[in-house]
Amino acid sequence: MANLTTKECSALKDLLGTEQILVKKYRTMAGQCTDAALKNQFTGIAARHQRHFDTLTNHLR
């Protein structure tokens, strides 16, 4: 992998932080839901953002 510029590293750091926040937020909302369908939606969204986070992390290796 090519070396990243400072700007690219900063952008990746921002994206990773955003994805972490979204995972946490949707997991929290899923945990607070009593409606099963809505809970499943929030759980799925959290999983999608976790995959985004994992993909970004893999690009840094």
pLDDT digits (tens, 9 = 90+) for 20-33: 999 999 999 999 99
- Kindly report the length of the chain: 61
| Tens of pLDDT, residues 2-54 | 688 999 889 999 999 999 999 999 999 999 999 999 999 999 999 999 999 99
Decide if pLDDT at 1 tops 60.
no
| CA gap 53, 55 in Å, rounded | 5
Count of other CB atoms within 10 angstroms of residue 15 = 13
Provide the residue type at 50 as one letter.
Q
Count of other CB atoms within 10 angstroms of residue 23 = 19
Compute CA distances 15 → 10, 20, 48, 54, whole Å: 9, 9, 14, 11
